[in-house]
Structure 1
Amino acid sequence: MEYIVYMGDLPKGDVSASALHINMLHQVFDSGASEYLLHSYKSSFNGFVAKLTNHGRGSDCIPKWKEETPHNKIMGLHGLSPRRFGPPPSKWKGTCQTSSNFTGNNKIIGAKYYRSDGKLGLTGTARGGLPSARIAVYKICLSDGCSDAISFQDGILTSNAAGNWGPNHATTTNFSPWSLSVATSTIDRKFVTKVKLGNNKVYEGVSINTFEMKGMYPIIYGGDATNTTGGTVFSTRRQVCYALPASSLGLSDGGRVLQYLHSTSKPTAIIEKIVEVEDKMAPFVASFSSRGPNPVTSDILKPDLTAPGVDIVAAWTKASTVTGYDWDTRSPAAIKSALMTTAAPMSVKSNRDQEFAYGAGQIDPIKAAHPGLIYDAGEADYVKFLCGQGYNTKQLLMNFE
């Protein structure tokens, strides 16, 4: 089986990447290492493709290769095997809390939970671009919600999605007064992937399809597919990731495609390459985004604000934060206030639920960096608020202990 081994940045100086990769394979195979090297990446990153047998593959190769990768980097990578790791670096001051299903080791050197059951839900082995990385992780969210009050006490603003239960009212699932509950809005572009049938009918679907198909292909219903190749498959199952040309159609258009399949003995179709179109109605709150009002108290608006969350394709440099601003000195409440008071008003016509859909409005990170007046709050203010809502001492301790 072929494996892609990613090793990060290109080696500095006059170093042959291919020679380096062959030397690494020599550490795994006794002889003929060059025969297992299928390709070396030399332009944008350091890595190679190797054909590995049961003699040495996957995580079994990692302990022999990790000497070639940076050590003692503390990063958020999914890799949990502690084999052949020494003590944590001296600069690390964190600890692991013992929980009902997890204990720390020399791989995971920091782990915190904020719920009474303490489950972290961590599984897996060390794989990927930096197998020698250490991991520090914390978890505040479980199936019944997020314990974000402790994060607030530690100076961390917890930002949560309002939920995906819209457009029904009072469906927002993150509504604590100290957290930031964010609704999902559209942007002014949509990605459309058209499906053209053999009867010349064209239907618009959604996907990121960069493939360009040539000519029409036979199309069959997915339930009838066995090992058929060289055609188009129509499936009623919702797919999230596509490795082949695909388009996700709405219910009515999907029904029309199914009718066409049953109307002819030799149905054909083609999935066209993605096109970008302007959405003149944007921004508006997505139908699936959870709505307010706050299901616990009408005195706190939820969601707090809205941010783009539909058809997002983006990247940014690792050299700075996404906005480029450092807000380390601001309290969580001050950051939340800055984001809400500078949010842009949204159209009432395209958002019938108004503030219960979009909260304070569409986020504007540039204006939020210079908000002017802010409304700050601390732990004592929230305790007073909860007391006014009828919380007793036991209930307060459950939130702030």
Structure 2
Amino acid sequence: MCPQNSMLCYFFNRSHTLSRAGGNFVAGASVFGFGKGTAKGGSPKARVAGYKLCCDGMGGCYDCDIIAAFDMAIRDGVDVLSVSLDGNEGFVDVTLQNAALWQIVVGASTIDRDFSNYVVLGNNKRFKKETLDPKKVKGKILVCLNVRSVDEGLQTALAGAAGIVLVNLPEFGSDHTTGRHVLPASVINFNDGYYNLFFTFTRHPVGYIKRPTTEFGAKPAPFMAALSSKGPIHITPEILKTDITAPGENIIAAYTEAEAQHT
């Protein structure tokens, strides 16, 4: 476990973003064999420093803490500040607040490939990924509604489940982040509602989860990720923000095994 005041212990953003900014060349990088190749940051071998400016469990980041972190970085001689702070959850417009012309605001987009697996029901219908009673869960594939976290997999594993199907939140559509699941798992689109009819009206529903594959040529791509803040700015909508966008979802990066479960 990490101490609460550690840079390593606030979701996955520190090690993740630092490696994307200045990570060295790493040959043979992959996530369980997917996306295999040479990984690197935007400026390999750069000297990077991280500053914690958000408090765990506080529901946001205070302006005074952000300014204090900026002051500390300037005092330390930092040349470029990369501030990974979005305020968006889901495909919602006008979630951007950085209106200053001298700031380059970067959005996160998807890539042109998808790391997919399929849930196959007993009637051969296929669906693309998108406190428990152990007696009811053991050895079964559990369907969890309205979740967007790998934590559910850990809880179902502790209860003895054989696998888990995560039903995406409506506001996230088909968007999903590849997770480091502890059980065979798949995320299905909320709008693909046939699964609900099958599990509701079938006395003994059965199914299995197929092995993931890499699918190239995903469309549309790039597409603004659900995790990215989006314009326009409600204060000055005539100023076009974000300035640029870059791949920011399902990107291989470093993480700490103390907590992070995403890629």
Matched, 1:260 2:194: no
Aligned equivalent of 1:143, options 23, 48, 61: 61
Q: Which amino acid aligns with 1:252?
A: N
CA distance in 2, matches of 1:263, 1:223: 22
CA distance in 1, matches of 2:250, 2:90: 18
Q: Which amino acid aligns with 2:137?
A: T
Shift of 1:312: 2.1
- Please list, as runs of the form range in 1=range in 2, the aligned pairs for 1:1-400 lying within 5 A after superposition: 79-80=2-3, 122=5, 138-141=51-54, 142-145=60-63, 146-147=66-67, 150=71, 151=73, 154=77, 155-165=79-89, 167-206=91-130, 226=135, 228-241=137-150, 242-253=181-192, 255-278=193-216, 279-287=218-226, 289-297=228-236, 301-314=240-253
CA distance in 2, matches of 1:123, 1:183: 27
- Report Cα offsets for 1:35-75 as digits up to 9, x if no partner: xxxxxxxxxxxxxxxxxxxxxxxxxxxxxxxxxxxxxxxxx
Number of residue equivalences: 172
- Report Cα offsets for 1:359-385 as digits up to 9, x if no partner: xxxxxxxxxxxxxxxxxxxxxxxxxxx
Unaligned 5+ residue runs, structure 2? Answer: 8-48, 55-59, 151-180, 256-263
- Report Cα offsets for 1:2-51 as digits up to 9, x if no partner: xxxxxxxxxxxxxxxxxxxxxxxxxxxxxxxxxxxxxxxxxxxxxxxxxx
CA distance in 2, matches of 1:191, 1:260: 25
Shift of 1:169: 3.2
Shift of 1:262: 2.2
Shift of 1:229: 1.8
- Could you tell me the percent identity over the aligned residues? 33
Q: Which amino acid aligns with 1:138?
A: Y
Shift of 1:230: 1.7
CA distance in 1, matches of 2:101, 2:53: 16
Shift of 1:284: 2.6
Q: Which amino acid aligns with 2:206?
A: T
Shift of 1:306: 0.7
Unaligned 5+ residue runs, structure 1? Answer: 1-77, 81-120, 125-135, 207-221, 317-401
Shift of 1:122: 1.5
Q: Is the 8 A contact 2:116 2:215 kept in 1?
A: yes
Q: Which amino acid aligns with 1:268?
A: V
Q: Which has the larger radius of gyration?
A: 1
TM-score by length of 1: 0.37
Question: For the structure 1 residues 192 and 79, does the alpha-carbon distance in structure 2 shift closer, same or farther, using more than 3 Å as the test?
Answer: closer
SS at match of 1:196: strand
Q: Is the 8 A contact 2:93 2:232 kept in 1?
A: yes
Q: Is the 8 A contact 2:106 2:242 kept in 1?
A: yes
TM-score by length of 2: 0.53
CA distance in 2, matches of 1:258, 1:299: 44
Question: For the structure 1 residues 292 and 152, does the alpha-carbon distance in structure 2 shift closer, same or farther, using more than 3 Å as the test?
Answer: farther
- Report Cα offsets for 1:343-399 as digits up to 9, x if no partner: xxxxxxxxxxxxxxxxxxxxxxxxxxxxxxxxxxxxxxxxxxxxxxxxxxxxxxxxx
Question: For the structure 1 residues 198 and 276, does the alpha-carbon distance in structure 2 shift closer, same or farther, using more than 3 Å as the test?
Answer: same
CA distance in 1, matches of 2:116, 2:186: 8
Shift of 1:295: 3.7
Q: Which amino acid aligns with 1:261?
A: F
Shift of 1:274: 0.6
CA distance in 1, matches of 2:91, 2:138: 40
CA distance in 1, matches of 2:107, 2:207: 37
Question: For the structure 1 residues 223 and 315, does the alpha-carbon distance in structure 2 shift closer, same or farther, using more than 3 Å as the test?
Answer: closer
CA distance in 2, matches of 1:204, 1:165: 22
- Report Cα offsets for 1:223-248 as digits up to 9, x if no partner: 77645322211111414222101111
CA distance in 1, matches of 2:249, 2:82: 21
Q: Relative contact order, CA 8 A, sep 6+: which one is greater?
A: 2
- Report Cα offsets for 1:182-223 as digits up to 9, x if no partner: 2111111011110000011111014xxxxxxxxxxxxxxx97
Q: Which amino acid aligns with 2:5?
A: L
